[in-house]
């Protein structure tokens, strides 16, 4: 059976390095290479000289060449870079796994447009446990009325993370809103410092912590007058996200087109 050829966008990023290492260890996969932004300090250097990735392939700036060669690209970069890579992938009929967060609704709409031509799996979180949490949040929000229980979402990540709230936290908010048959855009509260007002019925509040090297922690709290229910997921390291991304790549390599998420696998 032919190996699935995979290229990694942002190969020297935190997730890019871990994913590249796991591809090299997986007998079903072939690592065709990784690429970075042309201004990265380690361009054209061997991966094994600038990272823990055991490959002598050079850090490339030629996204087009690697995407053309690959069956699948895995992309945990920035919204702008991801859309650039999707344009190239679409032209070359290459499948894409997207773990990039911080996308606007307009950018997500563009992703959906590309999925009419190529298969794309996009998830704000590649962990099986978090995707289970999505379902639990939706069920709990549906069962507990907004007149009785307030919803607050707290998330903590490492100090290097730029987007806030995290993509996972916003997805949790979307599932909570869906459970209550409302729209997150109408009910989310990201900042309580701009005006003095009490909490409104149906608000979904968010709080953010950044520090250290925390891989990711998310808590969805349903707070009533007499009790409180917390649904919690804590990632001890990035391995759970890497495993999900690898499974996603194998899954998406067998599709012709369409937009998928991690729940489609499990």
The 3-state DSSP composition of the chain as helix, strand, coil percent (nearest 5) reads: 35, 25, 40
Active-site residue, selected from the candidate residues 21, 157, 188, 233: 157
221-250 as b/e: b if 16+ CB within 10 A: bbeeeeeeeebebebeebebbbbbbbbbbb
- Chain position carrying tokens 């990632």: 235
The two three-digit tokens of residue 239, written as one number: 């391995």
| 40 part of the active site | no
DSSP 2: P
The two beta strands, 216-223 and 228-235, are antiparallel
156-183 as b/e: b if 16+ CB within 10 A: bbeeebebbbbbbbbbbbbbbbbbbeee
The two three-digit tokens of residue 69, written as one number: 């060669």
Active-site residue, selected from the candidate residues 45, 110, 158, 161: 161
- Chain position carrying tokens 């855009």: 185
| 117 part of the active site | no
How far is residue 236's CA from residue 214's CA, in Å, rounded to a whole number?
Answer: 8
Residues marked as catalytic: 157, 161
């Amino acid at each position: 059976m032919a190996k699935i050829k995979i290229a990694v966008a942002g190969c020297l990023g935190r997730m890019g390095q871990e994913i590249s290492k796991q591809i090299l260890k997986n007998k079903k996969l072939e690592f065709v290479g990784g690429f970075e932004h042309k201004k990265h300090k380690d361009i054209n250097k061997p991966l094994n000289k600038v990272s823990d990735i055991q490959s002598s392939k050079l850090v490339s700036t030629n996204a087009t060449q690697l995407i053309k060669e690959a069956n699948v690209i895995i992309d945990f970069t920035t919204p702008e870079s991801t859309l650039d890579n999707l344009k190239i992938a679409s032209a070359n009929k290459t499948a894409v796994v997207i773990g990039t967060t911080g996308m606007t609704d307009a950018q997500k709409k563009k992703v959906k447009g590309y999925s009419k031509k190529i298969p794309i799996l996009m998830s704000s979180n590649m962990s099986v446990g978090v995707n289970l949490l999505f379902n639990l949040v939706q069920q709990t929000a549906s069962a507990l009325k907004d007149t009785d229980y307030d919803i607050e979402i707290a998330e903590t990540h490492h100090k290097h993370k730029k987007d806030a709230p995290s993509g996972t936290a916003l997805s949790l908010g979307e599932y909570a809103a869906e459970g209550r048959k409302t729209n997150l855009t109408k009910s989310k509260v990201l900042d309580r410092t701009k005006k003095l007002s009490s909490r409104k019925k149906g608000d979904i509040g968010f709080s953010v912590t950044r520090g250290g090297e925390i891989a990711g922690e998310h808590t969805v709290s349903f707070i009533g007058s007499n009790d409180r229910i917390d649904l919690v997921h804590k990632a001890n390291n990035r391995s759970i996200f890497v495993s999900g991304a690898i499974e996603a790549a194998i899954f998406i390599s067998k599709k012709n087109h369409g937009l998928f998420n991690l729940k489609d696998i499990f």
